[in-house]
Amino acid sequence: MNTGSNRTEGAPGEVAVASGESRPDGAEGEQGLGSKAPAFIKRRRALHLSWQVGVFVLGLAVVAAGIVMLPLPGPGWVVIFGGMAIWATEFVWAQLVLRWTKRKVTEAAQRALDPKVRRRNITLTAIGLAIVGVLVGIYLWKFGVVTPWKIKNQ
């Protein structure tokens, strides 16, 4: 790094910008892509590779735990995104996936706040609840309060 320069050095193809400086790709305020490993780890190739393997294995364990939690009780999607965040500390592809996901979630939240969409969602929910209520009523009328596995052919 040259004396007096605001730019920082990184991996080839990595866009690294000091704080307060605008990026060449126009995304101000966002941190550049690439490894967030400490400098002493980046300086040694074998140590950096070991660091990346460790981050990958840790992220994989967290993502796997989140996948297990999807059908089981627990915050499955939150844990999966936590594993992605762990991967994003080292891998550009994970950083890009997280940026895309964040953008899509923000867009969906904005769409959900639209009065027309809210009205439609409330209407569809009311119709769905009415259908479920009718089906439960028919079941109770036909079988009474009996569990399905104790129903005999009638």
End-to-end CA distance of the chain: 84
| Structural domain includes residue 45 | no
- Overall residue count recorded for the chain in this entry: 154
Torsion of CA 47, 52, 58, 59, to 10 degrees: 170
Q: Is residue 21 part of a domain?
A: no
For the chain, what is the domain count?
1
Within-domain flag for 154: yes
- Angstrom distance (rounded) from CA 129 to CA 126: 5
Range of the domain at 150: 114-154
Q: pLDDT averaged over the chain?
A: 78
61: confidence class by pLDDT, cuts 50, 70, 90: very high
Counting residues of the chain whose pLDDT is more than 90, the rounded percentage is: 25
pLDDT of 58 strictly over 50: yes
> 71-115 pLDDT, tens per residue?
888 888 889 989 989 998 888 888 898 899 889 989 988 887 888
Q: How far is residue 113's CA from residue 153's CA, in Å, rounded to a whole number? A: 49
Residue of 18, 72, 149 whose CA lies nearest to 64: 72
Determine, yes or no, domain membership for 30.
no
Specify the DSSP class assigned to residue 91: -
Task: Please report whether residue 132 resides in a domain.
Answer: yes
